[in-house]
A and B are shown apart, each in its own frame.
Chain A
Amino acid sequence: MFPTKLITTPVIWELGQKFKVITNVRQASVNDEIGLVSLSLDGEREEIKRAVAWLEELGVKVEPVEIQTIEG
């Protein structure tokens, strides 16, 4: 999930440049408030972990596709 301030930043391109991961967008919806992207990341486990940490530092909320595994 991208906050508004990142809308003009090419986050996924940068991700592919900075880390040895293969990115593949499977689904996306963007409006003027928020962008939701289902992104598959292929690569070494540690490299993916670093990539996710970088995204989070940037202010992107990252969840596994199995969102909401905690229930009431």
Chain B
Amino acid sequence: MDKPSPYFSNLKCRECGKLYPKEAIHVCDFDFGPLEAAYDYEAIGKVLTRQLIESRAHTMWRYRELLPIDGEPTVGTQVGFTPLVKADRLAKALGVRELYVKNDTVNYPTLSFKDRVVSVALSRARELGFKTVACASTGNLANSVAANAASAGLKSYVLIPADLEQGKVLGSLVYGTNVIGIHGAYDQVNRLCSEIAGKYGWGFVNVNLRPYYAEGSKSMGFEICEQLGWHIPRHTVIPMASGSLLTKIHKAYGEFTKLGLVDAAPFSVYGAQATGCGPIAQAMKRGTDIVKPVPKPETIVKSLAIGTPADGYYAIHAMRDTGGFAEDVTDEEVIEGIKLLAECEGIFAETAGGVTTACTRKLIETGKLPRDESIVICITGHGLKTQEAIVGKCGAPRVIKPSLREFEEQVYNPDAAAATA
């Protein structure tokens, strides 16, 4: 058993502030509010400096004092510190001065930002003595739990809707996890997961381990600041499913400011969703913080298709409090977004990345995002995971015989090329 961390002090209800011990619990007994990790910032401030962080390995664990585990990380120790790409060509295409892409398409090991949250959840699960971990997911989370549990020697169960596409199922099965397809509506699957977690004492990463899991997302915000030379970007555009990532990047910027690791500066966070399932964006546009559930999401962006977003309310407040906004885009715009990012920056994002890129364009065109200030867009998963979304949308190879004449006739005419040069 690890000694309790001197920095990660408690779990705390986000509604009433009641403190709880650091166990596998996630809702407040009193008001059912979500529990969140709380820290002793004074103690952290005494030890955590830019120099200390810079001296550590290039992983998300270089900010370990601000992550909710007691000892050293034991799962996903290589995760994070993905590139922050200065995206000059995309900036030019969008007509803005300074744009960066936080590229979690190359996050290790399963090519999505979910490796961040899972490495924290499973490291904590081990500290709490769990031998079996589980999740309910439609894709990225399942892949990440399966892979990270395999490498940690934990037994894992992945619950998925019974009609999920084969490609996504394979990305979990390969790691030797137990994949369970469940017939029924999402609400019923939700209820089953809660019952299993309660009855068998499994560590469900997004149920009873949720306070730990969610904190992993902060590392994306910490990295952005460090990679910008210890500055908070003026504007950050973040995809929203549950809304958790947006609230945690907001929290990360706040924590770095509080600790003096970055100078206090105004920043705004913006949320991106697909129109076919955009309950948070639509509430934001209506000017309310009551998020109306979407009973039947209809979009190609499966990884953001959460009809009842758990952190929607908090995401709206984070956007509102920082002067940000939310936008949503159609499936056609998503595909254009994927292509734009790929053609300008050589980054192949999954559909959620298309959402973020297309929403950024819309926010710029509508004047919500200014053209002359720094913007970071968060790209959270690799395009190889959702290839079916763009099949037939990117043209086809031209096929010729192996003859130079045919090549010059059909592909490259040197005279015509010289004339247009």
Contacts and interface: CB of A to CB of B under 8 A. Distances in A.
The finding on whether chains A and B are genuine partners in a shared complex, rather than unrelated, reads yes
B377 interface: no
B288 interface: yes
Nearest to A27: B31
Given A69-B207, A71-B306, A34 B292 contact: yes
Nearest to B29: A26
Contacts of B187: 61-63
B308 A69 contact: no
Given A34-B292, A36-B290, A63-B190, A68 B310 contact: yes
Taking chain A's interface residues, is the majority helix, strand, or loop, or is none over half, making it mixed? Answer: loop
B221 interface: no
Contacts of A26: 30-32
A66 B27 contact: yes
Contacts of B194: 64-66, 69
B193 A72 contact: no
Nearest to B33: A27
Contacts of A40: 32
Contact of A68 (B139, B190, B295): B190
Contact of B139 (A36, A69, A72): A72
Contacts of A65: 27, 32, 194
A67 B31 contact: no
A26 B13 CA distance: 14
Contact of B309 (A38, A66, A68): A68
Interface string A30-49: 01011010101000000000
B263 to A, nearest CB: 34
Interface in B179-216: 186-187, 189-191, 193-194, 197, 204, 206-207, 210
Given A34-B292, A71-B206, A71-B241, A66 B33 contact: no
B306 A70 contact: yes
B388 interface: no
A1 interface: yes
A29 interface: yes
Contact of A64 (B31, B190, B206): B190
B186 A70 contact: yes
Interface string B126-142: 00000000011111110
A71 B305 CA distance: 9
A61 B185 CA distance: 12
Interface string B291-321: 0110100000011111011100000000000
A16 to B, nearest CB: 19
B293 A1 contact: yes
Chain B interface extent, by class = 35 or more
Chain A: number of interface residues, binned into ranges: 20 to 34
A67 to B, nearest CB: 5
A33 B137 CA distance: 30
Given A26-B31, A33-B290, A72 B138 contact: yes
Contacts of A38: 31-32
A66 B242 CA distance: 12
Nearest to B15: A27
B361 interface: no
Contacts of B241: 71-72
B31 to A, nearest CB: 5
Given A26-B30, A61-B187, A68 B290 contact: no
B352 interface: yes
A38 B313 CA distance: 15
A46 B290 CA distance: 32
Interface in B2-49: 15, 26-27, 30-33
A57 to B, nearest CB: 14
A49 to B, nearest CB: 10
A61 B307 CA distance: 12
A24 to B, nearest CB: 11
A32 B243 CA distance: 24
Nearest to B289: A29
Contacts of A63: 187, 190-191, 308
B292 A70 contact: no
Contacts of B310: 67-68
10 contacts: A31-B288, A64-B191, A64-B194, A65-B32, A66-B190, A69-B190, A71-B135, A71-B241, A72-B138, A72-B303
Given A26-B32, A71-B137, 15 more contacts: A27-B32, A61-B293, A63-B308, A64-B194, A65-B27, A65-B32, A65-B194, A66-B210, A68-B306, A69-B204, A70-B306, A71-B140, A71-B242, A72-B140, A72-B306
